[in-house]
Structures are given as structure tokens and as C-alpha cells.
Structure 1
């Protein structure tokens, strides 16, 4: 095999909230993925928030490192983007190896995110061969592979899986790519569990990963309820909030019936449109939990930097999630006895007083029928997505390119 090269731009690392690598439990409903609870890290300057600092945050369960922007089959190379967090162009990111391993020891799940907002080269696999070629490159670069001809940007650190966040192109042949990653692991006697997650826009007809949603078995979807007409509303209006449509779609899917669905939200007003204060976000969380507890996985925040600057917004959200009361039945049909922000005492408050300052907030329980659950309840056209991109930029651009 010819020596593989990376075409680098900048690194983005998304990250989510999890427990420890050994203790991580995808069946829980209080995980925070970052982007911050589920969160991304990498596109901001390393001087703003280091990966090591993020991993010390007890509110974070999943960390996504982004991005691998694209794959070029003609020379078996990938475009790798980590901003100034390391010299990705020359694969000089080995300094992050101990941070990644430390994160995993502290119970975080570390994923490599594919896609991002780079518009220069739409992501497309022309055929199965290209998808399988990339899978081998990906496995040997970031996962458990050991091909001496493939450079490993993070040294010996082995990431825990793959996140798909396409903002252009399409996800054709992604099922074959994932299958090839699994085959590479099996061929390498690698028994490690590799997680597969996705970050679709909230429109039901997602313009870029629609194909993958029906062909790839995801462990979790971080639905971006921001920068779109179906996004969260600061006044608590749920008329366009279509978590129910996503639940229905996944329940009727042959491959994703058991997938965990996360509410994706901006971590600050500067992180993206449709930012809501934590008491309003609690209203959305409570209503979602009341109706779809079996599928609800937690909250994904874009991103870690915004959360820290916004009075540790991730801590506020984690406090709400740990206060959710056990649901009597899966996908309950009534919003009885909704939790408030005062219902949890499990929140770690050693790093800030944010949770204490907000602990007296009580949000009126929403009616369980307030969440639309039909596909007609929200915009679902690709041109709507493009219109919003023209107005607001890439959904992650507010933080990715500051």
C-alpha cells in the first residue's frame, strides 16, 4: 500500500456526556453529548479550552473530535481539520494521545466525526469500493488498526467510534463503509465495541444523511434542533418541534428501532440560532421525556466553548437531566408529574455554582400532546435547509470558525 496522506484544514472535536468507557451506558436518558454534553472540540483555538480540561468536566459523557472533512479515493487520502489544536497537516497530533486516553479512563466516549461544514468538497462515495477503501483508512488511522503504512494522528490512542455529521454531499454507501470498518476490526481480532452516531438536521427529510438513516444501524442520533425552522423556540413554542416525527421514523425503521435520540441545542446565543435558556430547554426536555422516554438519550450541545462561556450551560442541562423521574412506561402518552430543576441532588457542583444558582427554577409541566408527532408538522425540504444555511451559515459555523 502506498503511504497515506492527510489533507488537513482544522480539527473539530465534538463531545457528548457519558460515564466511563467501561461504565458508559447508551440506554440512559441523562447523557450529555458535547459538542458539549454531547459536544464537539477542535475548531476553536487550543487556548480557549483544552481537550484535557474538557475531560475533567463531570457533565460530559461523549467527546466528538472533528473533523475528517472528506475522503479522496484517487490517492487514498482524507482531509483532516483540527484548527490550531495540532499540526494536522503533518499528522503532528500525537501530543493529544495522553489527553484522549485520559478522557477514556474518566469514562468519556471519544468519537471521530466525519463531515463538518467544509463546503469545498461535498462528501460522496461513488461506489462500494471507495466506501471500503475509506473504511480501511479510517480504521487504521483512528481506531484499532495497525497498518504501518498508515499514519496515526493521535498515536496509539484508539478512539471509540464514528460520528456522521455531513453538511454537504450525501451518505450513499455509508452502510458499506460501516460494514467494512466492522470487517476490518474482525479481521484484526479486534473485539472492541465501536459506537456509530449521527448528527442530522431536524428536518424530517434530512438532505445529507437521509440514505444512511435507513441503511446504517446507529447507536445514537444527535438531532440538531437549531439553525432550522424546526428548531427550539425561546418562548417555548413547540408547534414546529418535531422530535415525535423522528421517533416515529426510527420506530418504523428496520435498522434503527432502538436508536437513542438526543435533543441537539446551541450552548450559547453565539453558538447558533434557536438558543434557549435552560428553563426553556427544560420544558422541551420534560415534554420529550413524558412522550418518548424509551428513545430519549439526553442532550447534545454545540459546543463546549460556548457552554463554558455561558455560565457552564452544560452543568445546568446535566442538572435537569439527572432530575428526570423514572417513566412508568416507554413512550408514555401523558405528561404526568413532570420533573423540575430542583428534583436532582446528584449534580456535581464543585467546578461552579451554576446549578445552585438555578436550582430554584420551576417550569410548568407541558401538555404531552404539545409535541408534534407527524411528519407534516414541520418543514422537511432540502431547499429550506439551504435557505437557512444562507441566512445563518453552517449549523456549527458560529463556533467552528471563530
Structure 2
């Protein structure tokens, strides 16, 4: 099925049989905030070139999780959204926000690690204003939070008798390889998060600890400045998207050098790896998406620079559905970009505005199935033979947002009005004005919808007409976790 892949992928002949070189960086992919039980973590660990998978998210600190960290993996836990089983806090008999029946995830973590993939657990996610669900306001609670993360998700300690949701059984203990900090709010005091990193490193020096800051570093817009300068990280998954003027579709070489300079100025991170964070699909964020030709060109410009660690992709599930006519998806092409032999074949001039072959329009009503908002997407394809052309229209139903499962008692939460409002590393920094209309009735957000575009593929005799996504917003029953 033809979904959304860029014309550059189809049109550039060299892509069909690329010249490959030694891999020039790692590939990290975020997973967990889109999809359901059929979207298995294990499938992404079968992608050649993927070096790490970051699970998103630990979205609640003990302060907001009844004494324990809370996790949210969209529709990946339980039979479906709403079937989650939460750990009961013995001290008060109340539910925590720690989901205990993520059965496929814990099985797949072990599988991924057997394939040599690093599994990182991300703390944070979307937060437009305080209080955030993952607030850590004091250093003593930061220390307690870090110790809980280590005991619950780290290497098994026989002396700990609390919950371990990723363990398969008593003989199948499962531990993550590291922690990621995707803190998306500009806290005035970031010392508690610095303390968390320090404690985690003391508890397990082998932890791989990363951070996912927004791109802007200017005064007033550098969200995580204190954390970046005050804690020691192994990797920076910098979000070069959702910030016009500071994203992969802009002057990425200059932006990379700016971040490289920042790391050189820090006390601990001069040798940390610097990853370029990119969107896997136009639907994965608000702006800054680049096609394969641009991605390959970008890697060729950065591969020999100091600190270059590779690419970090938000989000794996979106990337898997963003595929070309041969079934190759964005995740495959991201790995291929890192293997491209820039010396043997000149990198093409990128066309940063090219989308993947279709960013199709939302043309019919949106419905809520459990906690997932679905849209019916109409694709129009025109196939031309020697004498005539034939146009075919077909529909596809796809989830636009699955980051939150509703509470069984039916409280309120809002679905995003645009892709950049989704939970997680797709959130725009404060440097970019946020668009957050909340309306009671379903309506098309015409003011903020991308302009309608058309593009043509030159592969064979097939043309794909492209219409950009119109954005929608609505209020539905549930709970914003």
C-alpha cells in the first residue's frame, strides 16, 4: 500500500542500489507514543542500523503517581487502552500510575537486547505549563525518584521487594540499559534533575544516560541550559525540529556547530555524542521534516565532525508507516543515510520542502476508539500507460494520536490540534508560539493547517497527487496523563 514517502526516494536512481560505506553514526529511535498491541517493539529491533530504542515515557514522578513513577506507552499495555493494571501502593491501598501488564514490551526488551540494541527509558514528555506530571522540585525527592527508577527498571536487586513491571518472571529479570531525560518545560530550578542524573550514575556507572533538549540555545529560549551545563550525559538527542529557524530543514551545519560549542563549554559533556534529532514523518511533528535526499546530504556534511553520534528519530511507529512503493520506510532510509558513501557519490542538493510521497488529507470525520483518534485518509494515485492515465482513489484509516489511554471513570483530556501538540519529543520549544485551541465541537483548524500542496513523482509512469494534512481538535472523555 502506498502511504507517505518522498518523491526524492522514488526519483533518485541511486537510491535503488545505493553505494554504502562503513556506518558513520548510530541510529536511535523513540518508540511508545503511537500505535497499539500490534505495533511490536521487537519489529524495530530487526531494522538493520538501529543501535538504540528509547521507550517513551515515564510521564509521572512519584509526586503525581501516588508515591511511585508512572509510565505511559499509549496502547501498548493491556489488551487495549483502558485495560491497564496498575501497581497498588501497599501503604495506602491506592492505585499508582505504574502499569504492570505491559507484557509484549517486557518480552520485546529482552529480544532487542539479544540483538545488541540498547534500550533506554525516557523520563518526561509533553508539558505546556507547570505543573508537569514529572515535576521534581526538591533534591531529596530527586534522589528518591532516581533510586526508584533504578530499583524498578534497572538491574535486579534481591533486596528490593517492590514492583518490577518489565520482569518476565522470577527467572527472567529484565533491566533497561539507560535513562533519557526529555524534559519539555523550562524549570527555573533544574538542580533536582541534575541530582537525579548524579544518583543514577552512582547507582549504576554503566547506565547510558541521554538528554533530548530543544534546538534553540539563545537567551530566554534555552529550555534545559542548567541541566545541559550541570549534569554529565553520554548522548544528546537534540530536537532539530518544531522550531522554525532552528531545525534540520534550516542551516543544519551551523546549528550543529552551535550545539558542539555548547558541549565544549560544559564541565562534563565535552566528549558526549551529539545526535541530530529528526522527524520520521510530517505527521510526527509540526515543522522541520526533511526527505531522504536532504537527510543523506545532512549526514554527509556532519559525519566527520567532532562529537557526531548519528541520528535520533521521533517517532519509530510513524517512520514505519512512512514507506515507499517498495516497502522501504523512513527508519530504513535513516539507517541507509548513515551508511551512504559520501566520497564515492556526490551528495545531491537537498530539497528540504519535499515531503514523503503523500501527506494526504484528512477528509472525513474523526472518531474516538478507546483513547485513539483516527482519521480517514484519502489517497489519489494516477497510473499512466502508453496511451492513457487511470486515476484511483482509496481510503486508509490511521491513528493520529494514541499517547494517552482514558480513565475508566471518564474524566476529560484533549487531543492535539496539530501534530506538534502530541506528547513527547515532538513538542515545540517555547521559542515557537504554541497553538492550542480547545473547542467543544469538532472543527477544522484552518488557520494553522498546512497549505494544500501537490507534488509529482517521476518514477516509472506513476504520479502521486499530494494533499497536506488538515488539522483538527476536539474534546473527548478521558484523562490527560
TM-score, reference length from structure 2: 0.58
How many residue pairs get aligned? The number is: 307
Matched, 1:285 2:285: no
Q: What is residue 256 of structure 2 aligned with on the other side?
A: 243
Pick from 258, 282, 288 the counterpart of residue 271 of structure 2: 258
Q: Deviations over 1:121-158 (max 9, x none)?
A: 42432222111110111001111143544211111211
CA contact (8 A) 1:262 1:300 kept: yes
Pick from 203, 221, 239 the counterpart of residue 184 of structure 1: 203
Q: What is residue 210 of structure 1 aligned with on the other side?
A: 225
Q: What is residue 164 of structure 1 aligned with on the other side?
A: 181
CA contact (8 A) 1:124 1:172 kept: no
Pick from 122, 147, 160 the counterpart of residue 136 of structure 1: 147
Determine helix, strand or coil for the equivalent of 2:35: coil
1:267 CA drift (Å): 0.6
Name the CA shift for 1:117/1:239 in 2 (closer, same or farther; >3 Å).
closer
1:207 CA drift (Å): 4.4
Q: What is residue 305 of structure 1 aligned with on the other side?
A: 317
Name the CA shift for 1:249/1:339 in 2 (closer, same or farther; >3 Å).
same
CA contact (8 A) 2:40 2:105 kept: no
CA contact (8 A) 2:142 2:192 kept: yes
Structure number having the greater helix percentage = 1
CA contact (8 A) 1:33 1:63 kept: yes
1:195 CA drift (Å): 0.2
CA contact (8 A) 2:39 2:76 kept: no
In 2, the alpha carbon distance for the partners of 1:65 and 1:49 equals 13
Q: What is residue 162 of structure 2 aligned with on the other side?
A: 150
Matched, 1:363 2:363: no
In 1, the alpha carbon distance for the partners of 2:117 and 2:261 equals 30
In 1, the alpha carbon distance for the partners of 2:197 and 2:248 equals 35
Pick from 82, 101, 104 the counterpart of residue 110 of structure 2: 101
In 1, the alpha carbon distance for the partners of 2:40 and 2:113 equals 15
1:299 CA drift (Å): 0.7
Determine helix, strand or coil for the equivalent of 1:46: coil
CA contact (8 A) 1:162 1:196 kept: yes
Structure number having the greater strand percentage = 2
In 2, the alpha carbon distance for the partners of 1:276 and 1:229 equals 13
CA contact (8 A) 1:232 1:241 kept: no
In structure 2, the gaps of 5 or more residues are: 1-22, 79-83, 87-99, 168-172, 324-328, 351-427, 438-447, 450-470, 473-479
Q: Which has the larger radius of gyration?
A: 2
1:86 CA drift (Å): 0.8
CA contact (8 A) 2:294 2:349 kept: no
Q: What is residue 51 of structure 1 aligned with on the other side?
A: 41
Pick from 200, 205, 211 the counterpart of residue 213 of structure 2: 200
Q: Deviations over 1:137-186 (max 9, x none)?
A: 1001111143544211111211000000011253332222122223334x
In 2, the alpha carbon distance for the partners of 1:92 and 1:128 equals 31
Name the CA shift for 1:169/1:144 in 2 (closer, same or farther; >3 Å).
farther
Q: Deviations over 1:307-362 (max 9, x none)?
A: 112221122222221125xxxxxxxxxxxxx547x59xxxxxxxxxxxxxxxxxx4
